[in-house]
Chains A and B, each alone.
Chain A
Amino acid sequence: MDGAAMMSAASSARKLPQRDVVIIGLGWTGSILAEELTRAGLDVVAIERGPWRDTATDFPTTYAQDELRYHIRHELFLRPAQETMTFRNQPSGTALPIRSWGSFMPPNGVGGGGVHWNAETWRFLPSDFQLRTHLTERYGNGIIPADMTIQDWGVTFDELEPYYDRFEYLCGTSGKAGNLKGAKQAGGNPWEGPRSRDYPTPPQPQPYGPTLFAQAAKEMGYSPFPQPSGNLSQAYTNPLGVTLGPCTYCGFCEWFGCGNYSKASPQTTILPSLLRRPNFEARTLCEVLQINLDRSGKRARSVTYVTTDGELLEQPAELVLLCAFQLFNIHLLLLSGIGKPYDPGSGEGVIGRNYSYQTTSSVDAFFDGKNFNPFVASGAIGMCIDEFNGDNFDHGKLGFVGGGYMGAVQTNGRPIQSTRVPSGTPAWGAEWKKAAAKYYLGSYEAATHGSCYSYRDSYCDLDPTYTDGLGRKLMRITFDFHQNELRMSEYLTDRLAEIVQKMGPSHIDKKPRKGPYTITDYQTTHTCGGAIMGTDPKTSALNPYLQSWDVPNLFVMGATAFPQNAGYNPTGTVAALAFRAADAIVNQYLKDPGPLVRI
């Protein structure tokens, strides 16, 4: 079916009875919005492309820890044959379809990325939200490269704080406050913005590697602190009455579902309560094809979706919430003709604009006579420092802006992908085996998690050549790392290596991020931007409540809204923005449906 055929088929879809709210995608943001809006009394239907996923049925502890099945063979992820995108590094290049996921892992199914994340639960820095203003005020306009398109978010840290708090108390996040209402707290992150209260549960107890790292960092004058973790240090019952168990440190978090009810996910925090609401319905294995507008083009009237047996259905609703993964949010907006597509030539248009990512790097260290027991692990157990994040350090003479947290996070000791050998070791054969055996227990990977700012030539649009199985144009990603990010990564990796050196290794390998960006090597799933929030409809697709400037009864959740990415994992901020949007919908929009911000 080509695009035109699909559109005409879509118009013949069987029309279903009107509902108050239709949610596209039932991951973290879809679940949060569904919970908030059903509690407010609205009738909500969620349409999810992937299958239903349930802890007991889908991640039983008897086989959930299977690296081959889940990590190598991508069990929990979307199949590229169902939907993929094309990629190129430069606007001058030819984009080709991604046929096997590499750099990032698009989620699939109920719970979305919340099922297979590492549960590193961060807040961004206050200055991150006013990035352009902050940098200009501190350093003058000249510090921002001409092609860098960073923007302020239109929301401040203080405005977002109550919603960060909501998410942390939903998840039971384990951590230690560093700044309670402005008062610095020993042992926490001194650089964090003022928080209204401490984390709901104490930090996870640290294994040997992070303990050594923290000692070394402290001796160098830094302030190490435990990484905030959604893998819980102790059992916790959240405000919805849903109980999570304590983490058992099995080390199968990222890429895996948690069978012990210990990792915060929609399944372990929201869905058990949501499913009991008579005004909630989920339809799984149903793929939304497009959002349909009325004749004015300013109002979403319905979504069209297709079931696995090919039936086309139209679900009308008063309110449409686009809660799919970041990339698919942009794709659906482009396919639905909502908002002006971004044109890198003129710099005009908003859909596809400011696509960004994350700049990660690592230092591998090899020790003689040390045993780190790497298999005693959880996705977010570790000690970090924040001295080199955001603008916590003087960038005046460094030749770059941005930064990231760095630390020793003991995520896993899995045999296939986490076996490290020192540089210079043959890639296979007896020598490799010897080194792998020698260093399985005695090596350690420390990492930096750097920001990635946005640029005029990094964007998404519809591919002119390739279509998906439903006849729709694939989305095209044009992205490369820029010198600013590569310099930042080199600087951060050097600082990290200094700390790691102090831990007493016999050998270290520094691995700063190098260009060009590769789509085939896994880095993180932190793709960002493409329908960003802001205060100006000319340079943003969404207002500060994540409401579409063009179609006020459409809200778009997720990292899609990030104008650029900070030096942290995004989920905490994605969830805080979703809670804030839900609050605005319930307490402002429902009383007076229409634009929440008028220009």
Chain B
Amino acid sequence: MKSSALAGLVFLVAVGTAWADTDPQSFDAIEQGRYLAEVGDCAGCHTEPGGKPYAGGLALATPFGKLVTPNLTPDRETGIGAWSDDDFVDALLKGRGHDGERLYPAMPYPYYTKMSRDEALAIRAYLATLDPVRNEVVSNQLPFPYNIRASLAVWDWLFFTPGRFQPAADKSAEWNRGAYLVEGPAHCGVCHTGKNVLGGDETSHALQGGVLQGWFAPNLTGDGHSGLGGWSVEDVVEYLETGRNRVTAATGPMTEVIVNSTSHLRAADLRAIATYLKSRPGQSEAPKAVADSEPAMRSGKAIFIDQCQACHSPSGTGLSKMFPALKDSASVQSQNPANLIRIVLQGARAAATDAAPTAPAMPAFDWKLSDDEIAAVVTYVRNSWGNAATAVSSGQVKTQRKALAEEPD
């Protein structure tokens, strides 16, 4: 075991150094860069809806204001065509723009810093093969005082630890590969780790879930109640590859990540990610289930029978790869019920992938069920078939209904 782990380490180091002098015309480098750009889902942020891939222009609504993603195509005036290699490496790994200004950490350089210079140059080699697209982007559209980049020095000092990924000698090569991907290019924590008031990661609760765009990005640790403890490595791999598995179907912002990124990754990398995530510590106590005799549970059951069970089945087991199971679902029993309420209000659509091309959807119930009714049915599914989670109040539904109504599409 130990010797194979060691061999893995040697291999990683060997791969890391083989690109000491990256040839931008090398097919291998370009292909490696293409793959890393997919792992990092660069196109996910650097493409505006309906726009050319990597040409930027997507407006990111951060808690501090609006940032617009830059153009990464090799256009010399509006893209990165005129950048030097060092400019590119500094931006990707150090969060420094080619004019020396600090980047806003919406760009996940605190994660990308785990990559090597050669990997960064491979990505650049790939980006250089794209058609140049002229698309002028004004990135910084933040209000005062956040538009003052000087403040970012403080942010970096507080939250940014530059430096390549350091493998753990006592872990397997697979675990280390997974750790590198998750903490590095795949930057899972950007969504799945909670943020402090300054937008930095709550590192003490790494990967235990975070809130963004009105969604709760679930707990990805090995936590048995609300994390991935109940999923096998195969379940995680199938989910990332196809957008669904025997218990659930992806929805919300994760569908884009699956369609654009994880469904294209190598099976071995997905296994490595699963292995690493499941090893992450996370423990939450299951609360006591709400009693069946509670009025909300009784009306919730009646609503469930009329509106939900045709797809989700009377026993809450759903239908493998089509309709998510509610029984034993970590996401259903999540401490934060935002996703569940949101899905009942707005409906949700699963991802379409090559392996599972139908993108089944749940219809919206906002016009059909009142706040009280949604609170009851959500409380019911969170506390039936062995599930246990806090009751949801109609006030919580009301708040979310209002927030969704005000949210721009």
Contact surface of A with B, Cβ cutoff 8 Å: 55-57, 60-62, 235, 237, 240-243, 245-246, 248, 250, 259-261, 268, 272-273, 275-276
Contact = CB atoms under 8 A, between A and B. Distances in A.
Interface string B343-354: 000010100101
Given A235-B319, A245-B322, A61 B363 contact: yes
Contacts of A246: 319
B365 A62 contact: yes
A259 B363 contact: yes
A56 B310 contact: no
Give me the 10 closest cross-chain CB pairs, A-B, nearest first: A56-B361, A60-B363, A272-B357, A248-B310, A272-B358, A62-B363, A273-B357, A245-B322, A245-B319, A243-B322
B323 interface: yes
B356 interface: yes
A235 B322 contact: yes
Contact of A261 (B356, B360, B364): B360
29 contacts: A55-B360, A55-B361, A56-B347, A56-B349, A56-B359, A56-B360, A57-B361, A60-B364, A61-B363, A62-B363, A62-B365, A62-B368, A235-B320, A235-B322, A241-B355, A241-B356, A245-B311, A245-B319, A245-B323, A245-B360, A246-B319, A260-B310, A261-B322, A261-B360, A272-B352, A272-B359, A275-B357, A276-B354, A276-B357
A57 B320 CA distance: 22
Contacts of A275: 357
What is the predominant secondary structure among interface residues of chain A facing chain B?
loop
Contacts of B358: 242-243, 261, 268, 272
A272 B256 CA distance: 17
B318 to A, nearest CB: 10
Contacts, number: 61
B325 to A, nearest CB: 13
B61 to A, nearest CB: 26
A260 B322 CA distance: 10
A133 B293 CA distance: 72
Given A61-B311, A62-B368, A248-B310, A242 B361 contact: no
Contacts of A248: 310-311
Nearest to A276: B357
B342 interface: no
A12 B86 CA distance: 57
Contacts of A261: 322, 358, 360
Interface string B296-322: 000000000001001100000001111
A240 B320 CA distance: 17
A56 B352 contact: no
Nearest to A246: B319
B357 A61 contact: no
Contacts of A62: 307, 363-365, 368
Contacts of A272: 352, 357-359
B360 A242 contact: no
Interface string B56-78: 00000000000000000000000
A272 B356 CA distance: 9
Max count, chain A CB within 10 A of own CB: residue among B319, B321, B347, B349: B319
B67 to A, nearest CB: 32
Contacts of A240: 357
Contacts of B354: 241, 276
Contacts of A55: 360-361
A250 B309 CA distance: 12
A207 to B, nearest CB: 17
A62 B320 CA distance: 22
Nearest to B354: A276
A302 B347 CA distance: 42
A535 B322 CA distance: 46
Given A259-B363, A272-B359, 13 more contacts: A56-B349, A56-B360, A62-B365, A235-B319, A242-B358, A245-B360, A248-B310, A260-B311, A261-B322, A261-B358, A261-B360, A273-B357, A276-B357
Nearest to A62: B363
